[in-house]
Copies of this chain bind each other. A is one copy, B any other.
Amino acid sequence: MAGTDHGRRQAQAPGPSFILVAPQMGENIGAAARAMWNFGLDRLRLVAPRDGWPNPRAEATASGAAPVLDTVRVTETLAEACADLDLVLATTARPRDLTKLVLTPEQAMAEARAAIGREAKVGVLFGPERAGLETADVARAHAIVSVPVNPAFGSLNLGQCVLLMAYEWMRSGDATPPAEYVLAGTKRATGIEIDKLREHLVERLDAVGFFFPEHKRPSMIVILQNLLSRAPLTDADVRVVHGMIRALAVKVKGRK
């Protein structure tokens, strides 16, 4: 399509990382790489790709989008893939039993661009082909991205979803930036800081037998994760909450 100078600028500027969670078909990984590179995005991460990595089928399909595949990052867990990210957005089709901000692709990429302008690192999650993201994965995100489709027929596949998000990233290049959080001298907490905070809280709650009955523990932990990711927490906030948890639980721990 008729290229503009606009596209060239974007290929060089930093963009969000697109994170494919448990992708199954190599062809879809290749198609995602091509869709990204069409709009100048080159940061692809894979979490536990079914057929391992490297994947010859992905390479065959991605032909021409080598700059994306050459720098792909592969991790075993989503936590690792998100460890250095400040803002995580989860694409999902289905309504969830999670209280979470829901954005259109346009709003999401405007947020991403504003965050990157503040030197934050941004990731966009895409679930596996059939089932989409699991609820625990969505809970990790700061917001949900949902494409408003025909309610009688919403059937976007992985490659189409990546394409629309990449396209909106390109479009966001000229958009007025949205309202942003004033961070008051601190910076937004990273994924790993939030993970550690949740682990700390769970450890202390375990010590007092909070998760009872035991079979409810996993869903309670998802609720906690969702709570901690919903507010934009700063690193100062994280320190304060660690301090509170420690203070509340210190004597209990001493008695164990």
Chain A residues near B (Cβ < 8 Å) = 1-8, 10-11, 34-35, 37-40, 64-65, 92-104, 106-107, 143-144, 146-156, 160-161, 163-164, 167, 170-171, 176-177, 179-186, 201, 204-205, 208-210, 220, 223-224, 227, 230-234, 236-237, 240-241, 243-245, 247-252, 255
Contacts and interface: CB of A to CB of B under 8 A. Distances in A.
Given A152-B11, A163-B160, A2 B93 contact: yes
Given A7-B151, A151-B3, A251 B252 contact: yes
A99 B204 CA distance: 27
Identical chains bound together, number: 2
A248 B208 contact: yes
A144 B182 contact: yes
Contacts of A154: 1, 3, 7, 38
Given A210-B244, A248-B252, 9 more contacts: A2-B94, A2-B148, A38-B160, A99-B232, A101-B180, A147-B167, A208-B248, A227-B237, A248-B248
